[in-house]
Amino acid sequence: MALANANELCKTAILSLPMEPPPALQDMLQMTVSEKRPTQKLKWKTDSPVWVQQWLLSKEKLKALQELMDEQLAKGHIVETTSPWNSLVFVIKKANKDKWRLLHNLRQINNVMEDMGSLQPGMPSPAMLPQNWNLAIIDIKDCFFQIPLHPDDAPRFTFSVPTLNREALRKRYHWKFLPQGMKNSPSVCQWYLFSLLSPVRAAAGEAIILHYMDDVLVCAPNDDLLSHALDLTIDSLVAAGFELQEEKIQRMQPWKYLGLEIGEKSGDAMKHLIQAFSFLGIPKSIKTDNGPTYKSKEFRSILQQWGVKHKTGIPYSPTGQAIMERTHQNIKRVLSQQQQAVKIETPSIRLSKALFTLNFLNCTYENLNPPIVHHFRENCQLQLKAKLPVLFKDPATRETKGPYDLVAWGCGYTCVSTPSGLSAQFTDVYELKEDIGVGSYSVCKRCIHVATNMEFAVKIIDKSKRDPSEEIEILMRYGQHPNIITLKDVYDDGRFIYLVTELMKGGELLDRILRQKFFSEREASAVLFTIAKTVDYLHCQGVVHRDLKPSNILYTDDSNNADSIRICDFGFAKQLRGENGLLLTPCYTANFVAPEVLMRQGYDAACDIWSLGVLLYTMLAGYTPFANGPNDTPEEILVRIGSGKFSLSGGNWDTVSDAAKDLLSHMLHVDPHQRYTAEQVLKHSWIACRDQLPHYQLNRQDAPHLVKGAMAATYSALNHKTFQPVLEPVAASSLAQRRSMKKLTSTDL
The 3-state secondary structure of 555-587 reads ECCCCCCHHHEEECCCCCCEECCCCCCCECCCC
CA distance 354 to 466: 34
Which of 460, 532, 522, 517 is closest to 490 using CA atoms?
A: 460
Which of 606, 596, 623 is closest to 666 using CA atoms?
A: 606
CA distance 532 to 676: 11
CB neighbours of 515 closer than 8 A, spacing ≥ 6? none
- Phi-psi region at 160: left, alpha or beta (left = phi > 0; alpha = psi -120 to 50): beta
Q: How far is CA 221 from the centre of its chain?
A: 45
Spatial contact of 614 and 668, defined as CB atoms under 8 Å apart: yes
CB neighbours of 537 closer than 8 A, spacing ≥ 6? 478, 481
Catalytic residue (one of 445, 488, 533, 549): 549
Pairing of the two strands 285-288 and 309-312: parallel
CA distance 704 to 628: 11
Q: Is 459 annotated as a binding residue?
A: yes
Query: Is 346 one of the annotated active-site residues of the chain?
Result: no
Q: Is the dihedral of CA 96, 99, 100, 102 positive or negative?
A: negative
CA distances from 19 to 14, 15, 31, 490, 496 (A): 10, 8, 14, 71, 81
Catalytic residue (one of 536, 547, 608, 632): 547
Spatial contact of 185 and 178, defined as CB atoms under 8 Å apart: yes
Q: How many CA atoms lie within 13 A of 54 on its CB side?
A: 23
| Burial of 600: CB neighbours in 10 Å, binned 0-12, 13-18, 19+ | exposed
Amino acid at residue number 66: Q
Instruction: Find the Cα–Cα–Cα–Cα dihedral 141, 144, 146, 147, rounded to 10°.
Output: 150
CA distance 448 to 430: 5
CA distance 451 to 205: 61
**Roughly how many angstroms between the first and final C-alpha of the chain, as a whole number?**
91
Q: Cis omega (within 30 of 0) on the bond before 704?
A: no
Query: Is 552 one of the annotated active-site residues of the chain?
Result: yes
Catalytic residue (one of 569, 608, 624, 714): 569
CA distance 653 to 621: 7
Catalytic residue (one of 158, 589, 591, 714): 589
Query: Is 547 one of the annotated active-site residues of the chain?
Result: yes
Spatial contact of 686 and 612, defined as CB atoms under 8 Å apart: no
Spatial contact of 397 and 385, defined as CB atoms under 8 Å apart: no
List the binding residues. Answer: 459
List the binding residues for ATP. Answer: 459
Q: Which residues are catalytic?
A: 547, 549, 552, 569, 589
